[in-house]
Amino acid sequence: MSIFWAKSISCLIWESGALFLWIFTYGIGEEVGWRGYALPRLQEKMSALNATLVLGVLWALWHLPIFFYLFDPAIAIGWFFGLMSGAILFTWLYNSTDGSLLAVALWHGAFNFITASAAGEGLGAAIMSTLVMVWAVVLIFVYKPANLSTQEKQVIK
């Protein structure tokens, strides 16, 4: 019985460290540029939804090299729709938290950990990705394209 607990604790420590690494690299590493720099500048010139769509295309191009070594090109259309849905959700989160990069970075890192790492292979990743896609569509209809939030869109002041 004690061997079981030792393995469980060891696994928990390992996965917690991996989650921290995913949040630090993918969450903070990407979001400083995407939501911290680019999104407020784009939202200054256009609606939150249009800014998100522009940013989403750039974000997709940023991730394009993954298809050369990791992904099957057959999933490209679904992956792009999922990425754009994630971008909408991130804009909603960013605008709803008065521009909190921490909130977006935590969500980004945790989402990637669940959907893009060995920790989240299988049904869990598929369910999470599907929920994000549905959530993004709901956000557009509930919060409207102008701000994608009950708060004002975040712009450079």
Q: What is the DSSP letter of 74?
A: G
Q: Which pTM value belongs to this model? A: 0.86
Element (H, E) at 145: helix 123-147
Contacts of 71 (CB under 8 A, 6+ apart): 79
Report percent pLDDT > 90 for the chain.
56
- CB-side neighbour CA atoms (13 Å) of 131: 9
Q: Which tens digits make up the pLDDT trace of 102-152?
A: 999 999 988 888 887 776 677 888 899 999 999 999 999 999 999 999 999
Query: Looking at per-residue confidence, does 155 or 114 come out higher?
Result: 155
Q: Six-digit token pair at 103?
A: 């909130």
Asked if residues 81 and 133 have their Cβ atoms less than 8 Å apart, the reply is yes
d(CA 84, CA 82): 5
